[in-house]
Structure 1
Amino acid sequence: MTYLDATAKFYTEVAETPQIGLCCVQSSPLQLPGLKIPTQMQEMNYGCGTTVHPTELANDPTVLYVGVGGGLEALQFAYFSRRQGSVIAIDPVTAMRDAAMRNLELAAQENVWFDRSFVEIRAGDAFALPVPDASVDVVAQNCLFNIFKPADLQLALREAWRVLKPNGRLLMSDPIATRPIPAHLQSDERLRAMCLSGAMLYEQYIEHLVAAGFGQVEIRARRPYRMLNRQNYGLETHLLLESLDSVAFKTPIPEDGACIFTGKTAIYTGMESYFDDRAGHILQQGVPAAVCDKTAANLANLHPAEIFVTDSTWHYNGGGCC
């Protein structure tokens, strides 16, 4: 049995018998006016963060949700795109698709605005998405891609890139590791299916996104997720996993490399009213401007006496001059 077979078996089990708190982080679920989430759907919230960012969901986007889970985020996406077939949710596990369908029927009873036709559930997996090229505005996945081994992860990311329209967005939430996860944990197929042993380092995660063709990545949130303690997991010291929410844009990669936004700002401290680096970045005196990590490094290296660069906040919602 491969690790993907083990994953399918595990999620069949948790679809049939929900495991409350399997993946969830200790934070309040997204609250939206007029949205009621059925109890069973909430109990099947098998995610490590959120992919539902209202600022990314203007103009009734068509959303492809990979790994339907209990249907919670599919319902939340439908809240923003209230039309037939606006959300396509796929999952290779029959029991999970069936559970999501039941939960969405309950949601239709509890939410007067929600029509069951808003969400279409299809059989399929991340490696062969059942939609045409450049056909959706948003692809989203929550706590799924971390399960994949590197070659499969790259295939899944390239599939997401294929089906997105130009300037489309990949919304992701996954665990990352603060140091490499030992081989004996990576090879444990059940721990991998539980989103505990497949996490890679932040730098590796971003490298995979860029390698798949995404020219801009924005970090929405980074927070503690789980602690693997040394006693239970055979480690020399405890190993912290973090949850990373990100948005990757299907835009061309600039010649000098992709733009990665982690919440850094650049502040001009000189005597003039503004600073122009002649590369598209104009900084007002004393006013923090959000910049990508690449630009932050360039400004700090080339103009250390005049430019102050703040640390990453790991929370970025647009703006700035990049």
Structure 2
Amino acid sequence: MSYLETTKNVYRDAALTPDIGLCCTTNPVWELPGLKIPKIMQEMNYGCGSTVHARDLVNNPKILYVGVGGGMELLQFAYFSRQPGGVTGVDVVDEMLEASQKNFNEAEALNTWFQKDFVDLKKGDALNLPVKDSSIDVAAQNCLFNIFKSEELAQALKEMYRVLKPHGKLVMSDPTCEQEMNEELRNDERLRALCLSGSLSITEYVKALTDAGFGTIEIRARKPYRVLDPHHYPTDTLIFIESIEVAAIKDPMPADGPCIFTGKAAIYYGKEQFFDDGKGHFLSYNQPLAVCDKTAAALAALGRDDIFISESTYYYDGGGCC
């Protein structure tokens, strides 16, 4: 049995018998005006963060969500895209699709604004999405792509890139790990399916996104997730796993490489009212400007003693130099 088949079996079981907290911590249940989320959706919430951000969801966007779970994030997305077929949910597990459809019946009864046809559920594979080219404004996945090995991950990202419109966003939440994992952990099919042993480092994760062609990367959150300890897992050392929330934007790839935002800021504190580097970066006196890592390095290379560059916080909330 392949690790992908193991994954299908894990989530088939989770669809038939909701497993609260399976694989991941519970995503935020947004308290939005008029939005009521059925309890069963919360119990079947198999994600490690959130991919729902209001700033991404303007002007009734077309949204794609891969790996439907119990439908909670699909319902949250539909809140911002109240149109027939505004949200497409894709899953390879029949039982999960059936459970989600049932959950949407309950959501329709609880929410006067919601209609079931706002969400179009489709049987499909992340490696071969049943979606047209350049038809999606916001694509999302929560704690799914970390399960894939390198070849499948590259294909899944290629598919997401294909279906997005120019400047569309791929919003993701996945576990990451900065420590080395041994081969026994990496090759344990169930631990991979449980969103543990497939975790990449942030550098590897971002490289996979830029290799797929995404020209702008925003790391929006980084937080503690799990530990793998020697008493319960095949490891000699304690392994710390974090989760990150990332947006990859289908911008053209700049000639000098991608713009990667990791929460750095530049602050000018010189004698003038502002500093202009002549390359589109304007720093007002003593006002922080969010900068991508590339711009931070260029400003630091100027060797000035009146510009402060902060370290990466791995939290980026929009705005800035690019």
After TM superposition, the structure 1 = structure 2 runs for residues 183-262 of structure 1, keeping only pairs within 5 Å, are 183-262=183-262
Is 2:300 aligned against 1:300?
yes
Is 2:46 aligned against 1:11?
no
Match of 2:104 in 1: 104
Match of 2:312 in 1: 312
Rounded Cα–Cα distance in structure 2 between residues aligned with 1:76 and 1:303: 47
Rounded Cα–Cα distance in structure 1 between residues aligned with 2:235 and 2:244: 23
Match of 1:31 in 2: 31
Rounded Cα–Cα distance in structure 1 between residues aligned with 2:173 and 2:119: 21
**How big is each residue's C-alpha offset from its partner over 1:142-185, in whole Å with a ceiling of 9 and x where there is no partner?**
00000000110000001000000001000100000121221101
Are the aligned partners of 2:25 and 2:46 in contact in 1 as well (CA < 8 Å)? Answer: no
Match of 1:55 in 2: 55
Rounded Cα–Cα distance in structure 1 between residues aligned with 2:30 and 2:295: 32
Counterpart of 1:106 in structure 2: which amino acid? E
Match of 1:162 in 2: 162
TM-score (normalised: structure 2) = 0.98
**How big is each residue's C-alpha offset from its partner over 1:99-128, in whole Å with a ceiling of 9 and x where there is no partner?**
111111111111111000000100001111
Are the aligned partners of 1:68 and 1:96 in contact in 2 as well (CA < 8 Å)? Answer: yes
Rounded Cα–Cα distance in structure 2 between residues aligned with 1:174 and 1:154: 15
Match of 1:274 in 2: 274
**How big is each residue's C-alpha offset from its partner over 1:167-217, in whole Å with a ceiling of 9 and x where there is no partner?**
100010000012122110110101100001101100000000000000001
SS in 1 for 2:231: helix
Rounded Cα–Cα distance in structure 1 between residues aligned with 2:131 and 2:62: 12
SS in 2 for 1:99: helix
Rounded Cα–Cα distance in structure 2 between residues aligned with 1:5 and 1:244: 26
Is 2:176 aligned against 1:176?
yes
Match of 1:120 in 2: 120
TM-score (normalised: structure 1) = 0.98
Query: Unaligned stretches of 5+ in structure 2?
Result: none
Match of 1:69 in 2: 69
Are the aligned partners of 1:181 and 1:200 in contact in 2 as well (CA < 8 Å)? Answer: no
Rounded Cα–Cα distance in structure 1 between residues aligned with 2:15 and 2:26: 22
Match of 1:42 in 2: 42
Rounded Cα–Cα distance in structure 1 between residues aligned with 2:180 and 2:295: 28
SS in 1 for 2:321: coil
Rounded Cα–Cα distance in structure 2 between residues aligned with 1:226 and 1:81: 33
SS in 2 for 1:114: coil
Are the aligned partners of 2:26 and 2:45 in contact in 1 as well (CA < 8 Å)? Answer: no
Are the aligned partners of 1:169 and 1:248 in contact in 2 as well (CA < 8 Å)? Answer: yes
**How big is each residue's C-alpha offset from its partner over 1:211-231, in whole Å with a ceiling of 9 and x where there is no partner?**
000000111111001111122
Match of 2:80 in 1: 80
**How big is each residue's C-alpha offset from its partner over 1:222-279, in whole Å with a ceiling of 9 and x where there is no partner?**
1001111122113222111111101110011111110011111001122111111111
Counterpart of 1:34 in structure 2: which amino acid? G
After TM superposition, the structure 1 = structure 2 runs for residues 276-291 of structure 1, keeping only pairs within 5 Å, are 276-291=276-291
**How big is each residue's C-alpha offset from its partner over 1:57-89, in whole Å with a ceiling of 9 and x where there is no partner?**
000000011111110000000000001000000
Kindly state the Cα deviation for residue 27 of structure 1 after the two structures are TM-superposed.
6.7
Query: Unaligned stretches of 5+ in structure 1?
Result: none
Q: How many residues of Structure 1 are paired with residues of Structure 2 in the alignment? A: 322
Are the aligned partners of 2:28 and 2:49 in contact in 1 as well (CA < 8 Å)? Answer: no
Rounded Cα–Cα distance in structure 2 between residues aligned with 1:316 and 1:259: 13
Counterpart of 1:63 in structure 2: which amino acid? I
Moved more, 202-211 or 302-311: 302-311
Match of 1:90 in 2: 90
Kindly state the Cα deviation for residue 28 of structure 1 after the two structures are TM-superposed.
4.4
Kindly state the Cα deviation for residue 305 of structure 1 after the two structures are TM-superposed.
1.4
Rounded Cα–Cα distance in structure 1 between residues aligned with 2:33 and 2:200: 36
Counterpart of 2:170 in structure 1: which amino acid? L
